[in-house]
Amino acid sequence: MAALSIAQLREMIGTKTSKEFFAFASLTNGLPKGAITEISGAGKTEFVLQFLKEQTELKIAWIESQLSIFPFAFEQRGVSLERVLFVEGGEQSNWVALQVLKSQAFQVVVLYEEECELKTLRRMQIAAEKSAASLIWLTSKPQDAWPVGLQIKVTKRNGEIRPNILRERF
């Protein structure tokens, strides 16, 4: 293998890989495939349901330690329950999310979990990349985790939901 010049190395490092996105009217680029998107703040669940309503063909796994979501809310917002798998993972929710990503059976995996170990997040990031799935991590407040590709804080005022992109790494 031939040695590369410093200029060639810099060019290689600066080259961004093209990322595919699921279209979403509320975000210019949409939600990334094969990446972790962290969504926090008031209105985060409503924001995700808007996305799922727009994506009528996607299969979704919704994972929580203890289910707090009311499935009828999906129906009320135009998301068919036929394409959603609800999983109550208990203390193993992070492990469950990782296994669901590895199964490659779902295009979107929603994990409602306040905290996640960095090592586990990195594993989920790799699994999301391999499956070209979008992992949506719902938290009440923004986390500082480097495996997160897109970090969004949602605010809700007068019934209107507004996303604020805090960080985007692609």
The DSSP secondary structure of 101-151, one letter per residue, reads HHHT--SEEEEE-S---HHHHHHHHHHHHHHTPEEEEEESS----TTEEEE
**Domain locations in the chain as residue ranges:** 20-69+77-154
Helix axes 118-131, 93-103, angle to 10 degrees: 20
Q: Which two tokens stand for residue 89?
A: 């993972």
The pLDDT assigned to 72 comes to 92
What is the C-alpha to C-alpha distance for residues 117 and 145, in angstroms, rounded to an integer?
9
Identify the residue with better confidence: 82 or 12: 82
Instruction: Kindly state the average pLDDT of the residues 10-35.
Output: 83
Name the CATH superfamily housing domain 20-69+77-154. Answer: P-loop containing nucleotide triphosphate hydrolases (3.40.50.300)
Q: pTM here?
A: 0.88
Which residues, in sequence order, are bridge partners of residue 107?
A: none
Q: How confident is the model at residue 1 (pLDDT cuts 50, 70, 90)?
A: low
